[in-house]
Amino acid sequence: MTFTVLIPARFASSRLPGKPLRDLAGKPMIQWVVEAAEASQAARVVVATDHEDIARCVSQFGGHAVMTSATHVSGTDRLQQAADLLGLSESDCVVNVQGDEPLIPADVIDQVANNLLEQSWAQMATLCEKIHDPAEYLNPNAVKVVFDDRNAALYFSRAPIPLCREESVSTSQAAMPEQLAAYRHVGIYAYRVGFLNQFTRWPEHALEQCEMLEQLRALAHGAAIHVEESRCAIPAGVDTEEDLNKVDQYLRKGH
């Protein structure tokens, strides 16, 4: 069983313009991401971009890029167009690795891909990590996920879930649940291409618009999302100049 890694990489970024081309320890960020993905079991790794400079950069270091529309609203739309341009079949599996995650472990790419390939009932697969810090549990920027006994997602939320009634008086003062683990969603996804084609034709759902979480569109339409705890820690991506400097220093130390 094989899979393809697709890396959406757009040039525009409100906080860090030209982010995929920013230098990290002597290499553009997108090269670090591609090399991390190439260390996985993927049959191929392709960058899906909207900018000629990114495509040219990828070609220069020996990678493969396809040009996609500059008008895509989300990375998922860009992913779907890339899968179409590559002629992938509806049964093929693709993994979405963000173009701003230069430290992503190859093992988690393999994990999410193999989970989807092994679960015939799922249309998507993703990963999560246990939350140990109460501040993270309450932080709306940390997306929480709950799932059932077969690891099918029940809901994703910016709110603290699960919220134990006996321990919490309000969401702003919620205590970490003692009898249940709380999990933070990690934004890496595997999709079956046929489902990806369907998903991008559906309009945004009210739940998705409310929480600003695209995966809720899938759940609202009855799709099954497999969720599993990541086998290893997943470092945060690069969103700001400060993030960029931290990752640059980390890589220059030879990690």
- Could you tell me the residue ranges of all domains in the chain? 4-233
Which pLDDT tens digit goes with each residue over 21-67?
999 999 999 999 999 999 999 999 999 999 999 999 999 999 999 99
Residue whose token pair is 């990678």: 63
Tell me, what's the pLDDT at 17?
82
Contact 218, 185 (CB under 8 A): no
216 pLDDT above the threshold of 80: yes
pLDDT, tens only, 151-201 = 999 999 999 999 887 665 555 666 677 778 899 999 899 999 999 999 999
The number of CA neighbours under 13 Å toward the Cβ of 158 is: 11
- Residue from 51, 4, 28 nearest 100 by CA: 28
DSSP β-bridge partners for residue 156: 145
> What is the per-residue pLDDT for 168?
57
- The tokens of 146 are what? 């709950």
Strand partners, 228: 127
Q: Quick one: pLDDT at residue 177?
A: 75
3-state secondary structure (DSSP) of residue 32: helix
Tens of pLDDT, residue by residue over 7-26, are 999 887 767 888 999 999 99
Average pLDDT, the chain: 92
Q: Provide CATH code, domain 4-233.
A: 3.90.550.10
pLDDT recorded at residue 13: 74
